[in-house]
């Protein structure tokens, strides 16, 4: 008798107590100088990294990602968003020789936010 309403109530509580994802913005190039700002950060799985800058002048590429993680394509334009799906350390850089200082990284943890 109680099972008919108890299961949906418990399921609703679990779904409502889930963590919310965060968007982390990393600026570079143009008015932001030829560096990634911030150059390193820590995020949680499920968060989004949003790189914003001049990809035409500073093409983006991942140098290394954890096993099983997706890599981003080298975009053109001024923004790319990447949803983090795998725990580990991600390293990225600009693909141009004149952008040697443009390196960055982030560490993804499995910790969920309240």
104 inside domain:
yes
Q: Give the position of tokens 């334009």.
A: 77
The total number of structural domains that make up the chain: 1
Supply the pTM of this predicted model.
Answer: 0.77
69 inside domain:
yes
13 inside domain:
no
Do the beta carbons of residue 65 and residue 71 sit within 8 Å?
A: yes
**Domain harbouring 70, CATH code:** 2.60.40.420
Residue 41: which domain range?
19-109
What is the C-alpha to C-alpha distance for residues 87 and 31, in angstroms, rounded to an integer?
32
2 inside domain:
no
Please give the chain's pLDDT, 114 residues, in tens: 433 433 333 333 333 445 689 999 999 877 667 889 999 999 999 999 999 998 888 888 899 999 999 987 777 888 999 999 999 999 999 887 666 778 999 999 996 655
Q: Tell me the CB-side half-sphere exposure of residue 113, using CA atoms within 13 A.
A: 11
């Amino acid at each position: 008798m109680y099972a008919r309403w108890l299961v949906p109530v418990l399921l609703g509580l679990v779904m409502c107590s889930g963590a919310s994802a965060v968007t982390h913005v990393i600026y570079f190039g143009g008015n932001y100088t030829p560096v990634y700002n911030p150059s390193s950060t820590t995020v949680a799985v499920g968060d989004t990294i949003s790189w914003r800058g001049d990809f035409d002048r500073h093409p983006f590429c991942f140098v290394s990602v954890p096993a099983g993680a997706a890599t981003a394509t080298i975009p053109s334009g001024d923004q790319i968003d990447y949803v983090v799906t795998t725990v580990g350390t991600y390293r990225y850089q600009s693909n141009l020789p004149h952008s040697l200082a443009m390196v960055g990284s982030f560490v993804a943890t499995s910790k969920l936010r309240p």
